[in-house]
Chain A
Amino acid sequence: MSFPWAKHYEPKQPLMRWLDEKLPLPRLVYNAVGAGYPVPRNLNYFWNFGVLAGAALGIQIITGIVLAMHYAANAGVAFGSVESIMRDVNAGWFLRYAHANGASMFLLVVYIHISRGLYYGSYKAPREMVWLLGVVIFLLMMATAFMGYVLPWGQMSFWGAQVITGFFSAIPLVGETIRVWLLGGYAPDNAALNRFFSLHYLLPFVTAGVIILHIWALHIPGSNNPTGVDVKGEQDTVPFHPYYTAKDAVGLGVFFLVFALLLFFSPNLLGHPDNYIEANPLSTPAHIVPEWYFLPFYAILKSFTADFILPAKLWGVLAMFGSILLLFFLPWLDSSPVRSANFRPKYRTFLIVLLVDVLVLGYVGGAEANARNVMLGQLATAYYFAHFLIILPWVSRSERPRPLPGSITEAVLTKHGGTSPAKTALASN
């Protein structure tokens, strides 16, 4: 579905007409990301991040396929094969650093993309399905990133695998059996490394498939916008191409600049030196920490220190998975009909507190587990759950939103002109 004023694909060249009759692929592209997709005219740069995430996935797939040509998924030689990629393979260092830092860039833009959705209410009706599929993509990304981190078979790889598969042993009765089944042994070893490699190669393509569904679901209602007001007419939209292809290209340029800075000047900034030590099942590193993008969830896991009906370990694991699964219910936890936080003063304040709270969790996740940090983590965990389960349902019922603009066009013209021709036109009619 699209707006009735969407431009129609009319191939002029005979070859394109012939192709359109046999396999209308150019038509699909035209209607999806071309001039045939009308988009609100007021999107800001936060709307770049979906395209940036897609670009990051593309980079991961290309560099990953090439790395797989040089990597050996065998516990005996995996660490050595990664070192050989770094030292011997032509431009191997570049490909591996691009893949490792590319994962960080991917998660970074996705976190901003999710925050954008939270701020502008993009998860609300009629875009709930877009949001749900987005959470599925996020879960797939986390699984892929974790399994990818195991492949170099360094100390952090091994102990990360040990700790994360240890989550499953928290399940009562069958937990240990499940853990052994997942690992194919009693500790991470060759069997685990091989299956992680297989799945690490598979899941990005599954992710790409879900992304297609995500975009499909988005294109049914069309894109949200910073005002959160529905598109009312043709004057509210511009064609995706060339307007947003151009704007996305600007964002892509900035993305590549940041990526290049990380990749060429500080490729190990986000990694851990311990992962350059080969996996040793008999010695745990003094300080195990996951990659930066998992730290908030790791902090939630660590915040449960006392048994309460269930063992502390099970609470920690349930809370950690729960913190993500909670996002599936977000469209129904927030009942306010107003989408954009720009017009929801109370929600806006609490959302900013939530974003700071997640950063605090991230800090706690990476910090030493002393009494002060544990307390800070517990407070931050409590706020995280309170935000979604108490504050949000309450705020969405009690707050009085600011007046919404009559239309996207009105909002745009008021912002830029002071006097609004649209308003004048509406008043004279």
Chain B
Amino acid sequence: MATVDDQLPPGENPALLDEETHDPRRRDFLNVAAVAFAGVGGIAIVLPLVNQMNPSADVLAQSSTEIDISKIAPGQAIKSSFRKQPLFVRNLTPAEIAAADAVPVNTLRDPQSLEERTKPGKKNWLITLGVCTHLGCVPLGAGEGENKGPFGGYFCPCHGSAYDTAGRIRQGPAPQNLHVPDYNFNSDTVVTVG
């Protein structure tokens, strides 16, 4: 019995309808092409949605800071701020430099010498982020009278990470040395960080 499905509309060429059964890859191609087109469009929309989470222009604009270091006497340190993170600038005493140099570098968890962490000829100026590499607390030791920990550098009160006079991790859970940001000496008394 003929049904509506079997009937051709008047004037329709039956050969054209057969094309699909003769060449099924044509329909597959159209499917893949249509979905791929929509997929590429979808990804193009997702990109800005992901990227909006990254630091915005005004946050990035704070990424350069000038610091006057003329008032820091040997053995003293100051806490400044760089990209909204604490920054420690420390004027090391000869004894502290000697203590840092006395440690064999290859025994350290994150092997770095004091030279590698300071600028040439400015070995007494240790400039690091004041952010513990464990979970981001501010270590003690930059302020007057704060606990400098067993290695005389910095001590993180959160989980007991101890840093030495070169800001290198010596004990506790932190995996890395205190980070040294990019900086330059503009003159003997002014440093630009970032």
Partners in one complex: yes
Instruction: Check A191 against B158 for contact (C-beta < 8 Å).
Output: no
Instruction: Check A189 against B160 for contact (C-beta < 8 Å).
Output: no
Instruction: Check A167 against B135 for contact (C-beta < 8 Å).
Output: yes
Instruction: Check B79 against A282 for contact (C-beta < 8 Å).
Output: yes
In Å, the complex CA distance between A200 and B174 comes to 30
A182 within 8 A of B: yes
Interface centre among B59, B79, B83, B156 (most CB of A within 10 A): B59
Among residues of A, the one whose C-beta sits closest to the C-beta of B176 is: A311
A316 within 8 A of B: yes
Q: B136 contacts which chain A residues (CB < 8 A)?
A: 162-163, 165-166, 169, 187
A369 within 8 A of B: yes
In Å, the complex CA distance between A307 and B134 comes to 13
Among residues of A, the one whose C-beta sits closest to the C-beta of B80 is: A282
Q: Smallest CB–CB gap between B66 and chain A, Å?
A: 18
Give B83-140 interface residues, CB cut-off 8 Å to A: 83-86, 109, 130-131, 134-138
B56 within 8 A of A: yes
Instruction: Check B137 against A284 for contact (C-beta < 8 Å).
Output: yes
Total inter-chain residue pairs, C-beta < 8 Å: 83
B54 within 8 A of A: yes
Q: Which of A159, A191, A283, A307 contacts B59 (CB 8 A)?
A: A191
Q: Which of A163, A169, A185 contacts B84 (CB 8 A)?
A: A185
In Å, the complex CA distance between A302 and B173 comes to 9
Q: A189 contacts which chain B residues (CB < 8 A)?
A: 59, 84
In Å, the complex CA distance between A156 and B161 comes to 20
Give A282-316 interface residues, CB cut-off 8 Å to B: 282-284, 286-288, 302, 304-305, 307, 311-314, 316
Q: B175 contacts which chain A residues (CB < 8 A)?
A: 170, 307, 311-314
B1 within 8 A of A: no
Instruction: Check A316 against B84 for contact (C-beta < 8 Å).
Output: no
B159 within 8 A of A: yes
Q: Which of B54, B83, B156, B157 contacts A187 (CB 8 A)?
A: B83
Q: Smallest CB–CB gap between A369 and chain B, Å?
A: 6
In Å, the complex CA distance between A353 and B176 comes to 37
Give A165-180 interface residues, CB cut-off 8 Å to B: 165-167, 169-170, 180
Q: Which of B55, B81, B85, B134 contacts A166 (CB 8 A)?
A: B134
Among residues of A, the one whose C-beta sits closest to the C-beta of B110 is: A311
B53 within 8 A of A: yes
A181 within 8 A of B: yes
Q: A221 contacts which chain B residues (CB < 8 A)?
A: none
A186 within 8 A of B: yes
Scan A149-169; emit 1 where CB is below 8 A from any B CB, else 0: 000000000010011011101
In Å, the complex CA distance between A316 and B174 comes to 11
By secondary structure, the B interface counts as loop
In Å, the complex CA distance between A163 and B53 comes to 19
- How many residues does chain B have at the interface if contact means C-beta atoms less than 8 Å apart? 28
In Å, the complex CA distance between A166 and B137 comes to 9
Q: B81 contacts which chain A residues (CB < 8 A)?
A: 281-282
A195 within 8 A of B: yes
Q: A311 contacts which chain B residues (CB < 8 A)?
A: 175
Q: A80 contacts which chain B residues (CB < 8 A)?
A: none
Instruction: Check A281 against B84 for contact (C-beta < 8 Å).
Output: yes
In Å, the complex CA distance between A293 and B55 comes to 31
In Å, the complex CA distance between A304 and B135 comes to 13
Instruction: Check A184 against B159 for contact (C-beta < 8 Å).
Output: no
Instruction: Check A307 against B160 for contact (C-beta < 8 Å).
Output: no
Instruction: Check A307 against B157 for contact (C-beta < 8 Å).
Output: no
Among residues of B, the one whose C-beta sits closest to the C-beta of A311 is: B175
Q: A284 contacts which chain B residues (CB < 8 A)?
A: 137-138, 156-158
Instruction: Check B54 against A282 for contact (C-beta < 8 Å).
Output: no
Give A240-293 interface residues, CB cut-off 8 Å to B: 281-284, 286-288
Q: Known interface pairs A307-B109, A316-B173. Does A184 touch B56 (Cβ–Cβ under 8 Å)?
A: yes
Q: Known interface pairs A163-B135, A166-B135, A286-B157. Does A281 touch B85 (Cβ–Cβ under 8 Å)?
A: yes
Give B147-191 interface residues, CB cut-off 8 Å to A: 156-160, 172-175
Instruction: Check A185 against B173 for contact (C-beta < 8 Å).
Output: no
Instruction: Check B157 against A181 for contact (C-beta < 8 Å).
Output: no
Q: Smallest CB–CB gap between B170 and chain A, Å?
A: 13
Q: Smallest CB–CB gap between A6 and chain B, Å?
A: 42
Instruction: Check A185 against B86 for contact (C-beta < 8 Å).
Output: no
Q: Smallest CB–CB gap between A364 and chain B, Å?
A: 13
Q: Known interface pairs A186-B55, A288-B158. Does A282 touch B174 (Cβ–Cβ under 8 Å)?
A: no
In Å, the complex CA distance between A304 and B81 comes to 31
Q: Smallest CB–CB gap between B92 and chain A, Å?
A: 21
Instruction: Check B138 against A283 for contact (C-beta < 8 Å).
Output: yes
Among residues of B, the one whose C-beta sits closest to the C-beta of A188 is: B84
Instruction: Check B84 against A305 for contact (C-beta < 8 Å).
Output: no
Among residues of A, the one whose C-beta sits closest to the C-beta of B171 is: A305
Instruction: Check B84 against A186 for contact (C-beta < 8 Å).
Output: yes
In Å, the complex CA distance between A125 and B109 comes to 48
In Å, the complex CA distance between A184 and B50 comes to 11
Q: Known interface pairs A184-B53, A185-B55, A282-B79. Does A312 touch B157 (Cβ–Cβ under 8 Å)?
A: no
Q: Smallest CB–CB gap between B101 and chain A, Å?
A: 25
Instruction: Check B158 against A185 for contact (C-beta < 8 Å).
Output: no
Among residues of B, the one whose C-beta sits closest to the C-beta of A183 is: B55
In Å, the complex CA distance between A163 and B174 comes to 12
Can you give 18 A-B contacts (C-beta < 8 A)? A162-B135, A163-B136, A166-B136, A180-B54, A184-B54, A184-B55, A187-B83, A281-B85, A282-B79, A282-B130, A284-B156, A284-B157, A286-B157, A288-B158, A302-B159, A302-B173, A305-B173, A314-B175
* Sample of 5 further A-B pairs with CB below 8 A, known A163-B136, A284-B158: A170-B175, A185-B84, A191-B56, A282-B81, A313-B175
